[in-house]
Structure 1
């Protein structure tokens, strides 16, 4: 069903949320496989092939492949690439790179969507820190994804988490989104904002929470390929994302990975069933 308000937002039943968790598990396991596979000398197209095989072997379909003409099963964004990097046979990973891998899968008509940023071998302390800042901002956004809050509370939580860590660029042109029977749905979820503003969050909403944090300024631009977004100043960027359902017990992380178990317990979030 859809709730009519400031936006038309799809609400899910408990049974539908369970189906989304099933899709989310496939995304989670695929990202685990990709994290383990990342190493110097690989191409981003190599990673794309691994992802597509993992998703299809699980009985699902890659969400991204063919989406508005996108050619890959994942977005693979290296270093200064923020999001929407196209997998390529000529983009070879090198020691010290960082790569953001965004992955989506459709299972029985329901979508899962999640992203991680991975170090390629040993990376600088600066790079590792921006990855930590981005991931923590995501978790703070997730904590704000509760019935009774408003949409602006999510963006405010993300923005505050980033700003308390130092001078980082919080990308504003791109953000999170509703998710369900489509990958991108209402509402658009900004990574900045004012508390207690925007539509009211209610049980059954499912949102993708996905901050993008730059080492330099927040400013980005899109390349001529029509997809790849890069930092204007050429500095590196990190991207993390989870799909989340608002339930009576709190924010349920639909794309939770095994490595998130401790964090989910520490934050007091519902057990997603690993």
Structure 2
């Protein structure tokens, strides 16, 4: 019995290194296959633009593959910009623009973000939807958790960047506290729209509201219906910010954000609005509706 056990034990001792060797070889083969597959479709030669980028712009020499695409990466003071080779001109031109947008928003919010943030230039809206799961018809999206900006290449402009980046600034300044959707979108529109305070633009917005079949209440817009009729609801949200600023001044708006951003302030955003403007939400909404109706008589 002992001899038989010794023989069997010796047999396993001999086989164990062989098994380890086989498993090790197999794991190395699998690892090699994994790397080979992940590197599949990455360019084998260095594109010309990597060797001669515009002055002052540095592009990482090694591309990466994400979202079934190959991206090159360039870094600005505040961002990492991920772009496909076909979008290199767009990426190069955006470098100074996106940093200027960041600095303008940082000045308005009186807040600095922990940078860099990431911007991905994607081919189209459907790719944004596939990557983020957001509503299908969006040319730009900022993710809730990480604050990554995804922009469809053909829809890139500084207004899109400013709108999406404003969402990040607002969230971080307010320490991720809950705010009404209409306020979030209205403020992003206000801070991203060129000449937003011009008479021409104001006339355009308020005429649009006056020609609508109906306007949504502020409470309705808190229930995440902004995208059901985006052309109207975004104009309506922006008009609320325009009304508050024209009636009470932009400084009041900043006071509201400063109050609500205080860590020892534990009341709701609507309560903070009432404190700053001295009126309930219902009364402010009535004033806004009167403001919209009266605009037609100016």
Q: Which structure has the highest strand share of the two?
A: 1
* Bin for the TM-score computed over the shorter chain: under 0.3
| Structure of higher RCO (CA pairs closer than 8 Å, 6+ residues apart) | 1
- For normalisation by structure 1, the TM-score amounts to 0.25
Higher-Rg member (1/2): 2
- For normalisation by structure 2, the TM-score amounts to 0.24
